[in-house]
Chains A and B, each alone.
Chain A
Amino acid sequence: MTRSLHRWFGLIAAIALCLTALSGATLSIFPVADAVTNPASQQISVATLAARVQAAEPTVEQIKQEPSGRIVAFYFDGNTPVSSIIDPATGAPVGEAGKSDLERWLIDFHRAYLVGDNGRYAAAIVAGLMLALSISGAFLLARRAGGWRHILKPVSGKGQSRLHTIVSRIAVPALFFSSITALWMVAATFDVLPAGSAAPMFPETVSGKMGFDLAAMEPLQNTQLDEFRSLTFPYANDPTDAYRLKTSAGEGYIDQGNGALLEWSDANWVDKTTHLATVLHTGQGMAWLGLILGVSALGVPVLGWTGTAMWLRGRKGPKIASVAEADADTIVLVGSEGGTTWGFAATLQTALMQHNLKTYVGPMNTFDPARWPHAKRLILLAATYGDGAAPSTASGFAEKFSQSPARSDMQLAILGFGDRSFAHYCGFASELTERAEKSGWKTLVPFETVNRQSPQDFARWGRALAGALDLDFELNHVPALPKTWRLTLISRRDYGADVQAHTTILRFALPHASLADRLTGKMLPKFEAGDLVAIVPEGSNLPRFYSLASGSKDGFLEICVRKHPGGLCSNQLTAMEPGQEITAFIRANPDFRPARGKRPVVLIGAGTGIGPLAGFARANQNGRPMHLYFGARHPASDALYDHEIAEWKADGRLTTVATAYSRLANPLYVQDTLKADAANLAKLMTSGAQILVCGGREMAEGVAAAVAEIVEPHGLNLKTLKAEGRYAEDVY
């Protein structure tokens, strides 16, 4: 509900919001200019000020202080009415008052779109939308982060969703602030607030005398400049008139014949709040605040754009001709956030239909076993929104699912789609699996997960499914390929042939980008070690992802590939000779890299997992503490990057290096070296170090267990470290 509200408000209002935000951002510059040019303020009373101004300009009619602190006086020069900025030190005019045409135009545009009261109503609606968006957005931020406590932790995810999150985290507080003060100001303008204190009535009787010395008037002497708002002089030669004084405390009349306070009414909280809202919204007298609000407003177009793009992508819903629920023997229910899971569902449905299974595919919210008289199996494809939450098309599904009794004539399979960089990887799918076990559903195939839309993970689960159904099919899911580049191999280094772990370090040249490519953004995107390169092998459209062992700053693209028997892509790669080409594209993986700053980094990996870790070490030019724990089979055979590691240790890019070999007389795994070095590691972690783990899943599980064991006595735990981005994995 929060999400769809956020979406619809956002779409409707995007354009109006952008216009209001951009004009507001521009307006925030003016208070800064005012702050620079305003004459210095003075610690004087209004009596002193008024006397000075009257001496300098005897025809003065009114003196007022603008919220920016600027003193302005209105008087006549001959018959010409003049408004001037006053230097309170002398009371003399120092320049013309009034806003420039540009500023007035911007204000009118910002608050009324140049069309008067109807425009003001529209602008008020826009401010209301902004407020609704800020609030719903803050809740989404919290939900995405896994709770309010984690709202400031590093952002996981990628692309537009990541950008949307980062920008909104910065801008939301200011936008909330701007919109709520704006609404208050509109309400004040249209008199819909609770009543302010009524202005005092003009006094019934005055002394009838004139010419009391301004400087000697007690009410003015008792008012300091910082609380002064305005002083209106009586009409010339009208003994029935009086001075009118306004201050932050209230307003009243002063007798021009004896200086006595005649009437007074105190300002109430509504008056004070209205003044405060104006000052806070416009940043007058608080230029720094205005600038913060203005800069945050610049985030609105970015949020509008990324939000709309995300929504458009998510809209690509089911486009598959489906069998009716009542006729189906196989029910596939999809809970998708961004829409990509529907693509996997389509691949699954095509394969099942080819084998004459009557397959119904629908969103999870259509769950209703009573409408499936012929169903024999239920397959749930469950994506996870953010950190463990249910996706939008499955809100409320978990409830319905656990309340509904298991059908003894049906079998159940659950496949989770998620991103391992989140702490609750596939949290929603795991939750469903637990509920299914409790209700007693029969298992068709065991629970599996697909990391980052990996076609390989999906194909592996597909083989298990085909086995369970006693059918022969492959789930070759081909996501739409992004733009690809051709990469040329420069060099290769081979390791591990004699320990049955043929591994090659492949180095590719960066594709040459012409000027036109650069201008049109068609060059290979910038990448860093730890990002992924997708290789599209000959004879298949399924890209395979490898972790990058270099950044684009190194001037080459490097990966470590282990040859798998029968592996199409690894066989092609490990057979490449310098000069040959391969098709590839880059996918960012911003959550797996050393955090900014000087804190120590602990690199842990085994086998080809050394690749990105070597890349991090190579890029560590500033000698930040980096500790490498590395597992291989035999020092003489598969010690990848052996020369470089020695060199990096010598020049300080690596602080310590510990290696574990599993094929020596005394076999060691990388988690063993961690345990042996537990004291050091615990010290590093309590001092704020970050751990980056890369390698196979079994190794990663062993490492996670070892690290948990080491840090727990020191009051740390793996879950928190992961949530803080201090324990990141790249696992395959």
Chain B
Amino acid sequence: MKRFMAILALTTALSTPVLAHAGQVTLTTNMANYRGPGAYLAYYVTDANGKYVGSLWMAGGKSRYYEHLRGWYRASGGNTGDINGITGASVGSGRKLEVSLNLNDALFDAGYELHIDAAAEDMRESPNEIVVPLTSAGSGKAIKGTRYIANFTYSR
């Protein structure tokens, strides 16, 4: 529960310059050439039991489409309060999205997983396109996606 509170503070940390025990993490997503309109991407974290702890970023501004980010929608209950202040534009085919945020050090090497759901208009829903454990060793290593995402890297 303590950690849960911590991450809630951290998900909105983009607007807070420095927090104790928080280091800057950059999430880099290179999109595949999937031939379609801009994709919506939801970034969220689950704990060692697979339980949702919070959202890190939402690419795509229109909430009526969030239900197509099926994993995030089910985990968060579609609660847009979770992504307040951490929402950006959808990401086009072949583009790159870089998000820098302050993430609690305690989230690393403790069984937490980062998920990315992706979807685009009239196209396939791709929940959990990326699922990657947050570890110190995994930092800087590219993970391949399947439908929309060419590869994803987080680096501390």
Contacts and interface: CB of A to CB of B under 8 A. Distances in A.
B124 A199 contact: no
B20 to A, nearest CB: 35
B77 A202 contact: yes
A117 B35 CA distance: 19
Q: How large is the interface on A (under 10, 10 to 19, 20 to 34, 35 or more residues)?
A: 20 to 34
Interface stretch (B7-15, B59-67, B105-113, B132-140): B59-67
Nearest to A101: B35
Contacts of A211: none
Interface string A202-243: 100000000000000000000000000000100100000100
The majority secondary structure among interface residues of chain B is loop
The number of chain B residues touching the other chain, given as a range, is 20 to 34
Contacts of B77: 201-202
A232 B73 CA distance: 14
B125 interface: yes
B123 A108 contact: no
A81 B67 contact: no
B38 to A, nearest CB: 8
Contact of A189 (B62, B126, B127): B62
Contact of A191 (B64, B70, B78): B64
Contacts of A202: 74, 77
A74 B124 contact: yes
A190 B62 contact: yes
B48 to A, nearest CB: 16
Nearest to A80: B146
Contacts of B37: 104, 108
B67 A191 contact: no
Contacts of B124: 61-62, 74, 81, 83
Contacts of B23: none
Interface in A76-118: 79, 81, 83, 98-99, 101, 104, 108, 116-117
Given A74-B124, A232-B125, A188 B147 contact: no
A101 B36 CA distance: 8
Interface in B84-129: 89, 122-128
Given A81-B147, A101-B35, A104-B36, A188 B126 contact: no
Contacts of B62: 189-191
B126 A81 contact: yes
A199 B67 contact: yes
A232 B68 CA distance: 10
A461 to B, nearest CB: 67
Given A199-B67, A199-B78, A202-B77, A74 B125 contact: yes
A491 B89 CA distance: 80
Nearest to B36: A104
Contacts of A189: 62, 64
A83 B36 CA distance: 13
Given A199-B67, A199-B78, A202-B77, A61 B122 contact: no
Interface of A: 61-62, 66, 74, 79, 81, 83, 98-99, 101, 104, 108, 116-117, 188-191, 199, 201-202, 232, 235, 241
14 contacts: A61-B125, A62-B124, A79-B146, A81-B146, A83-B123, A98-B35, A98-B36, A99-B122, A104-B35, A189-B64, A201-B77, A202-B77, A232-B125, A235-B128
